[in-house]
């Protein structure tokens, strides 16, 4: 029997795809081609040798049993299943983690699992198949052995290319990702042994119907709208955001900005943080829809055929309080309650989870208001992850307060959902008006869009938030008016709702908006906000009763009149996706109501607190304990703004009292109170003396804590508690900037009078942080602080490689000074702030290479490219004058970089090689020559192959020169290349000597030579 090429392709595809998905989550730069051209080229060569092995296995299995013409089809379908890909991933993971004996033992377990899966698959396949157990096991073993041999070849190629190596396991995060794959092996075998009677066709059918329901239910969104709860296809309105790395155990992704697809492809277990209204929940709906709808595409963690499961933690928390259910039990109830499916077949959800065939999204960790309960639910999530180690997991939370209940950083990477940039704002506005203004001409619509974008141009903080942007579009469409701050946006939304009600209602008793209806909404909001069980929806009956209770107390003597008024108002809200609306039904069909977004609930709750605690002292008595625990953050912010707007000097009194409370607090409460105070300067403009009081208290604490950390804990990776304050200082309102900067300068000047070297270092690192992405005024502050430190600056720099990097990239020192202070090794060393760990500099060489070899033409990068070029020009002389360089001091710092850079991959998309002159090209040559010498002898054959193929234009510029050191190349070819590059006669003479091994960059000794060849 001759094997169908398609079946062979399936087998080879399984091997490649499983490796791709594993690499996607263990350490290659997110968003880039995860395996790379070099691996794929080598893999293509190896596949030719593999084909006879695979062909023999498939043909043997297909011929050995009486399947007639269906044999290969069944084999191909089985091999394409996610279960088989998961087994291949586990083969790869055990290879990296285990010794040879452990590896062999794990393969025996995987072979058992493979046989069970194969048996159940062919038994349940709708065809006439009659196999004895012996024949089934024999067929499974044939296929598994073929897969295992092929995996070993793929692993050898990947290791040779530097893509997957045993040292990957040394990274804590990578180790845990791989360990998750391995940990699920025995769990899977135990599950299959205990579940002998699984109805696999029923499970596959359930999985298919479940995905269909998920896709349809989450394929639509209800954008805020005054008049109706119109559903729109999610892709008609959704704008893909960007993502930033907050913390990662993978050094290659620190400080990286990721696109929507790059983020999904490169994560395995992640926490996504964002601001209120930033689009976290909408993002989870989009992910659920896309993964369910495009099941066969590799959208998440490099995997295909995942089934998305959404767990809204607010709802799970309420269900757990009432019924003490587990997460899995809650998911089972959601199958029926939310997706309207019959109960899942026995073992179906467990099968998906044990096999890693599901993606579980936990949305809204922050919506569990009590810190202790949030920590309990956090522990539930982590226990769930430990129980099902093969399951990819995504958790969302607001950023403020997350640190009170963070997930294990060794299991979860943390990312931030970026605010919209101008391009994304433009895209959203275009989509919004296209969906909303269906009754106007395209010209009129575009005029409205252009006017909105122009008038909102100075409202960057508001319109960069997706919820605020949607509300502003609504307000502008209806009123041709744009509010200037968040409370004004909410207030206008409420006013417009009630004005619409006033015009449409026909009730017998007048209910003035300001006097009765707005307070009723505040009362209802406070009631709902205080009870987590109500925030997932309040029945119409309970809502009317509660509203009537309030109205009777405030407006009516007759309870029937109060109920009638309450009922008419609630009925008015039905069918409107605006402020407050119906969102579903209970089992008996009664409507459930919610505020359309958490921030509306928080806004009316804040108003209720202000109305009932109308003095600064009274309000702070209620809110300060919450602020100290990082709870009720948005409610507290809004309450401060509302009282400040409505009462003279209330904001000053609130903030002064808050700082005084902070002075008496300890531990986290102290920092939480300070952090809240500094955040208030982003939306309040207090009196100058109050602003100075806040900033002085905050920055003095940051300096003290930073000094202690640098003195006693320099090597610690613990989180610096002043991080939040440093970030928020950069976000203060423009009106507060001058006072804040002057106050910081005066404080730092006082601290620096003592000429304490560590304090100088701390203050300079703080200044560097403040300057990042901040207005020009911060740069002037840094210049002034540098002047204060000038007499001891070199001593400070000698103790801080990070500050040297900062000074180098800001042209305060040159590359010679850096090497003088920290040695030539420092060119290859990544560094992080000594105090707070917020900013990371990749090595000088990595930065220069990125700028020159893989740059993108844009106006923002021109200055960096110029500095990189200047550094490169100097490096040629630096390396030559340093010969020979001691190998052992350099080897460990640059070994990975050497392999990475000499294996230049092709340019992609808008990337180009920056045009450099002869001096800069000489610096680039000396750098690559040094890196080539550092590569292990086993690395050289594939590297030389890359140089010959010249996938990157640099190897077209310097091609024969590099090859001539290792192979016989005609001298005229080398000479022509040197002349074409404009190298001087001295430079050409050095190249000739380097090619003949008469000159070397690296000083080799015998033991070092052994290391290189090992």
| pLDDT tens, residue by residue, 111-127 | 888 888 888 887 766 55
The residues, any chain, with a CB within 8 Å of residue 84's CB and separated by 6 or more, are 14, 78, 114, 117, 147
The per-residue pLDDT for 644 is 93
Are 455 and 429 within 8 A, CB to CB?
A: no
pLDDT band at 1012 (very low <50, low <70, confident <90, very high): very low
From 4-13, 300-309, 759-768, the region with the lowest mean pLDDT = 4-13
Separation of alpha carbons 641 and 650, rounded Å: 9
Residue 521 has pLDDT above 80, yes or no: yes
Question: In residues, how long is the chain?
Answer: 1014
- Report the CATH number of the 207-418 domain: 3.40.50.300
Separation of alpha carbons 77 and 126, rounded Å: 12
Residue 561 has pLDDT above 60, yes or no: yes
From 664-678, 730-744, 939-953, the region with the lowest mean pLDDT = 939-953
Tokens of 607: 């108003």
39-43, 665-669, 917-921: range with highest mean pLDDT = 665-669
The per-residue pLDDT for 36 is 45
The per-residue pLDDT for 928 is 86
The per-residue pLDDT for 70 is 56
Q: For residue 402, is the peptide bond before it cis, meaning its omega torsion is within 30 degrees of 0?
A: no
* Arithmetic mean of pLDDT, 444-471: 89
Tokens of 899: 């392999």
Residue 935 has pLDDT above 80, yes or no: no
- What is the SS3 assignment for 701-722? HHHHHHHHHHHHCCCCCCCCCC
From 326-330, 333-337, 880-884, the region with the lowest mean pLDDT = 880-884
From 8-17, 222-231, 292-301, 961-970, the region with the lowest mean pLDDT = 8-17
The per-residue pLDDT for 26 is 47
pLDDT band at 48 (very low <50, low <70, confident <90, very high): low
Q: How many helices (H) does the chain have, and how many strands (E)?
A: 46, 18
Q: What is the DSSP letter of 538?
A: E
The per-residue pLDDT for 858 is 47
Q: What is the pLDDT of residues 842-859, one digit of tens each?
A: 788 888 877 777 665 444
* Arithmetic mean of pLDDT, 352-356: 88
3-state secondary structure of 297: coil
What percent of the chain stands above pLDDT 70?
76
What percent of the chain stands above pLDDT 90?
27
Are 55 and 4 within 8 A, CB to CB?
A: no
Please state whether beta strands 393-398 and 269-274 pair in parallel, antiparallel, or not at all (unpaired): parallel
Q: Which H or E run includes 818?
A: helix 815-822
The per-residue pLDDT for 205 is 92
48-62, 523-537, 837-851: range with highest mean pLDDT = 523-537
3-state secondary structure of 361: strand
Residue 51 has pLDDT above 60, yes or no: no
Q: Facing residues of 394 across strands?
A: 270, 361
pLDDT band at 402 (very low <50, low <70, confident <90, very high): confident
57-66, 176-185, 602-611, 951-960: range with highest mean pLDDT = 602-611
Q: What is the DSSP letter of 832?
A: E
* Cα diameter, the chain: 106
Q: What is the pLDDT of residues 122-175, one digit of tens each?
A: 776 655 455 667 777 877 887 787 777 777 766 666 655 554 444 343 445 555
Residue 1006 has pLDDT above 60, yes or no: no
* Arithmetic mean of pLDDT, 239-257: 67
Separation of alpha carbons 597 and 467, rounded Å: 9
The per-residue pLDDT for 250 is 43
Residue 43 has pLDDT above 80, yes or no: no
The per-residue pLDDT for 39 is 44
Q: What is the DSSP letter of 514?
A: I
Q: Which H or E run includes 623?
A: helix 616-628
Are 684 and 653 within 8 A, CB to CB?
A: no
Separation of alpha carbons 683 and 514, rounded Å: 25
pLDDT band at 308 (very low <50, low <70, confident <90, very high): very high
Residue 797 has pLDDT above 50, yes or no: yes
* Arithmetic mean of pLDDT, 864-887: 79
From 61-65, 116-120, 221-225, 778-782, the region with the lowest mean pLDDT = 61-65
Mean pLDDT over the full length of the chain: 79
Separation of alpha carbons 181 and 23, rounded Å: 13
The per-residue pLDDT for 251 is 42
Residue 605 has pLDDT above 90, yes or no: yes
From 220-234, 478-492, 608-622, the region with the lowest mean pLDDT = 220-234
From 16-20, 149-153, 755-759, 992-996, the region with the lowest mean pLDDT = 16-20
pLDDT band at 494 (very low <50, low <70, confident <90, very high): confident
Nearest to 341 by CA among 222, 201, 216: 216
The per-residue pLDDT for 226 is 61
Do the domains spanning 207-418 and 483-602 agree at the CATH topology level? no
pLDDT band at 628 (very low <50, low <70, confident <90, very high): very high
The residues, any chain, with a CB within 8 Å of residue 482's CB and separated by 6 or more, are 452, 455, 456, 459, 472, 475, 476
Residue of 164 and 637 predicted with greater confidence: 637
* Arithmetic mean of pLDDT, 739-748: 91
pLDDT band at 227 (very low <50, low <70, confident <90, very high): low
* Arithmetic mean of pLDDT, 393-399: 94
Residue 368 has pLDDT above 70, yes or no: yes
Please give the CATH topology (third level) of the domain spanning 483-602. Answer: 1.20.120
Residue of 1009 and 996 predicted with greater confidence: 996
The per-residue pLDDT for 192 is 72
Separation of alpha carbons 568 and 506, rounded Å: 9
Separation of alpha carbons 737 and 775, rounded Å: 9
pLDDT band at 717 (very low <50, low <70, confident <90, very high): very low
Separation of alpha carbons 348 and 337, rounded Å: 17
* Arithmetic mean of pLDDT, 219-236: 79
Tokens of 748: 């730092």
* Arithmetic mean of pLDDT, 189-199: 75
736-750, 825-839, 845-859: range with highest mean pLDDT = 736-750
Separation of alpha carbons 235 and 525, rounded Å: 32
pLDDT band at 886 (very low <50, low <70, confident <90, very high): low
Tokens of 129: 């198949």
The residues, any chain, with a CB within 8 Å of residue 694's CB and separated by 6 or more, are 655, 659, 677, 678, 680, 681, 686
From 132-136, 175-179, 239-243, 787-791, the region with the lowest mean pLDDT = 175-179
Please state whether beta strands 232-233 and 538-539 pair in parallel, antiparallel, or not at all (unpaired): unpaired
Alpha helix positions (H), 505-597 = 518-529, 540-554, 559-573
Residue 8 has pLDDT above 60, yes or no: no
- What is the SS3 assignment for 159-196? HHCCCCCHHHHHCHHHHHHHHHHHHHHHHHHHHHHHCC
* Arithmetic mean of pLDDT, 321-327: 90
- What is the SS3 assignment for 430-478? HHHHHHHCCCCCHHHHHHHHHHHHHHCCCCHHHHCCHHHHHHHHHHHHH
58-63: long-range contacts at Cβ-Cβ below 8 A with a sequence spacing of 24 or more? 58/3, 58/7, 58/8, 58/11, 58/143, 58/146, 59/1, 59/2, 59/3, 60/142, 61/139, 61/142, 61/143, 62/1, 62/3, 63/1
The per-residue pLDDT for 543 is 92
Query: For the purposes of burial, counting CB atoms within 10 Å of the CB of 718, is it exposed (0-12), middle (13-18) or buried (19 or more)?
Result: exposed
The per-residue pLDDT for 619 is 97
Domains in the chain: boundaries: 5-194, 207-418, 483-602, 614-793, 847-1013
pLDDT band at 678 (very low <50, low <70, confident <90, very high): very high
């Amino acid at each position: 029997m001759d094997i169908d090429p398609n079946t062979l392709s399936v087998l080879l595809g399984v091997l490649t795809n499983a490796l791709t998905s594993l690499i996607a989550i263990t350490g290659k730069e997110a968003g880039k081609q995860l395996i790379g051209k070099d691996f794929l080229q080598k893999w293509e060569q190896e596949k030719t040798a593999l084909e006879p092995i695979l062909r023999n296995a498939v043909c043997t299995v297909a011929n050995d049993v009486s399947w007639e013409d269906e044999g290969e089809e069944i084999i191909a379908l089985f091999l394409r299943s996610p279960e088989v890909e998961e087994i291949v991933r586990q083969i790869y993971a055990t290879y990296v983690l285990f010794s040879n004996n452990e590896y062999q033992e794990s393969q025996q377990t995987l072979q058992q699992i493979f046989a069970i899966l194969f048996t159940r698959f062919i038994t349940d396949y709708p065809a006439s198949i009659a196999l004895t157990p012996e024949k089934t096991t024999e067929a499974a073993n044939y296929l598994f052995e073929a897969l295992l041999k092929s995996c070993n070849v793929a692993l050898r190629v990947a290791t040779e290319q530097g893509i997957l190596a045993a040292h990957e396991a040394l990274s804590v995060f990578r180790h845990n990702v791989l360990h998750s794959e391995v940990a699920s092996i025995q769990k899977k075998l135990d599950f299959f042994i205990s579940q002998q009677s699984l109805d696999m066709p029923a499970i596959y059918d359930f999985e298919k119907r479940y995905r269909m329901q998920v896709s349809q239910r989450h394929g639509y969104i209800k954008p805020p709208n005054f008049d109706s709860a119109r559903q729109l296809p999610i892709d008609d309105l959704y704008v893909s955001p960007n993502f930033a790395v907050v913390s990662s155990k993978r050094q290659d992704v620190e400080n990286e900005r990721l696109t929507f697809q790059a983020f999904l492809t490169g994560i395995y277990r992640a926490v996504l943080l964002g601001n209120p209204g930033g689009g976290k929940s909408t993002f989870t709906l989009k992910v659920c829809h896309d993964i369910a709808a495009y099941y066969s595409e590799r959208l998440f963690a490099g995997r295909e055929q995942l089934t998305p499961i959404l767990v809204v933690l607010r709802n799970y928390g309420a269900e757990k309080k009432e019924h003490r259910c587990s997460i899995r039990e809650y998911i089972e109830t959601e199958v029926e309650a939310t997706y309207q499916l019959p109960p899942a077949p026995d073992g179906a959800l467990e099968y998906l989870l044990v096999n890693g065939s599901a993606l579980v999204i936990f949305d809204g960790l922050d919506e569990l208001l009590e810190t202790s309960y949030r920590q309990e639910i956090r522990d539930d999530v982590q226990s769930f992850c430990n129980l099902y180690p093969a399951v990819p997991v995504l958790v969302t939370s607001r950023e403020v307060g997350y640190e009170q209940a963070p997930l294990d950083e060794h299991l979860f990477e943390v990312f931030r959902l970026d605010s919209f940039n101008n391009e994304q704002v433009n895209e959203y506005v275009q989509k919004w008006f296209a969906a909303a203004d269906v009754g106007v001409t395209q010209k009129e619509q575009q005029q409205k869009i252009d006017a909105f974008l122009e008038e909102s141009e100075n409202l960057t903080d508001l319109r960069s938030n997706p919820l605020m942007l949607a509300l502003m579009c609504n307000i502008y469409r209806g009123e041709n008016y744009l509010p200037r701050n968040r409370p004004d946006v909410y207030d206008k939304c409420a006013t417009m709702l009630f004005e619409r009600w006033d015009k449409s209602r026909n009730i017998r008793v007048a209910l003035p908006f300001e006097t009765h209806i707005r307070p009723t909404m505040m009362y209802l909001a406070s009631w709902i906000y205080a009870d987590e069980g109500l925030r997932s929806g309040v029945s119409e009956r309970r809502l009317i009763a509660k509203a009537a209770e309030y109205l009777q107390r405030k407006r009516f003597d007759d309870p029937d009149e109060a109920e009638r008024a309450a009922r008419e108002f609630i009925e008015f809200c039905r069918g409107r996706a605006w402020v407050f609306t119906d969102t579903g039904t209970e089992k008996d069909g009664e409507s459930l109501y919610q505020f359309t977004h958490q921030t509306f609930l928080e806004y009316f709750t804040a108003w209720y607190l202000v109305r009932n605690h109308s003095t600064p002292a009274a309000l702070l008595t209620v809110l300060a304990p919450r602020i100290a625990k990082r709870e009720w953050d948005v409610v507290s912010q809004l309450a401060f703004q509302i009282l400040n707007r409505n009462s003279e000097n209330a904001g000053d009194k609130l903030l002064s009292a808050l700082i005084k409370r902070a002075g008496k607090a300890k531990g986290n409460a102290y920092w939480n109170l300070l952090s809240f105070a500094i955040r208030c300067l982003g939306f309040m403009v207090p009196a100058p003396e109050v602003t100075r009081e806040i900033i002085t208290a905050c920055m003095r604490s940051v300096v003290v804590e930073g000094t202690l950390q640098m003195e006693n804990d320099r090597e610690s990776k613990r989180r610096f508690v002043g991080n939040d304050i440093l970030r928020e200082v950069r976000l203060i309102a423009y009106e507060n900037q001058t006072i804040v900067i002057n106050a910081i300068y005066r404080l730092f000047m006082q601290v620096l009078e003592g000429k304490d070297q560590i304090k100088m270092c701390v203050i300079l690192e703080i200044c560097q942080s403040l300057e990042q992405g901040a207005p020009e005024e911060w740069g002037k502050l840094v210049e002034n602080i540098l002047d204060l430190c000038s007499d001891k600056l070199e001593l400070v720099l000698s103790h801080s490689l990070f500050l040297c990097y900062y000074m180098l990239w800001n042209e305060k020192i040159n590359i010679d000074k850096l090497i003088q202070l920290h040695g030539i090794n420092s060119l290859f060393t990544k560094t992080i702030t000594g105090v707070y760990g917020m900013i990371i500099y990749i090595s000088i060489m990595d930065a220069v290479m990125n700028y020159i070899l893989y740059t993108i033409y844009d106006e923002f990068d021109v200055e960096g490219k110029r500095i990189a070029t200047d550094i490169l020009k100097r490096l040629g002389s630096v390396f030559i004058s340093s010969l020979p360089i001691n190998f052992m001091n350099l080897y460990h710092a640059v070994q990975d970089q050497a392999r990475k850079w000499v294996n230049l991959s092709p340019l992609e998309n808008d990337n180009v090689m920056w045009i450099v002159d002869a001096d800069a090209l000489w610096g680039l040559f000396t750098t690559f020559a040094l890196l080539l010498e550092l590569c292990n002898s086993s690395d050289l054959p594939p590297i030389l192959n890359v140089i010959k193929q010249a996938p990157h234009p640099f190897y077209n510029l310097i091609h024969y020169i590099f090859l001539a050191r290792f192979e016989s190349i005609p001298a005229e070819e080398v000479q022509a290349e040197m002349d074409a590059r404009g190298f001087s006669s001295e430079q050409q003479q050095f190249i000739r000597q380097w090619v003949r091994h008469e000159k070397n960059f690296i000083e080799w000794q015998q033991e070092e030579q052994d290391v290189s060849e090992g």
